[in-house]
């Protein structure tokens, strides 16, 4: 599953095994092989949560962040 999230006028690509939207919190919840690429970074984790405005991201379990 993949989604493109706009953040600070640049696009970031989010992929994961499962993506769900929680309208009560306005959040996208990702699980399984979560990967975000963009703005010069690549972040992977087992779980992630992203606000629908593209402002905040939370990564949990086996987090690895790479910058060139």
Full-model pTM: 0.75
Q: Is 65 left (phi over 0), alpha (psi -120 to 50) or beta?
A: beta
Task: List Cα–Cα distances, 46 to 3, 24, 53, 61, 66, in angstroms.
Answer: 16, 23, 22, 5, 16
**Domain ranges, residue 31:** 2-66
- Greater confidence (49 vs 6) lies with 49
Signed CA dihedral, 38, 41, 46, 52: sign only:
negative
Q: For position 1, what pLDDT does the model report?
A: 55
Number of structural domains (the chain) is: 1
Mean pLDDT over the full length of the chain = 84
């Amino acid at each position: 599953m993949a989604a493109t999230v706009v953040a600070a006028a640049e696009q970031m690509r989010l992929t994961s095994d499962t993506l769900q939207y929680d309208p009560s919190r306005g959040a996208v919840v990702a699980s399984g092989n979560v990967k975000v690429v963009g703005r010069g970074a690549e972040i992977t984790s087992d779980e992630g949560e992203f606000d629908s405005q593209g402002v905040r991201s939370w990564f949990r379990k086996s987090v690895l962040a790479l910058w060139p």
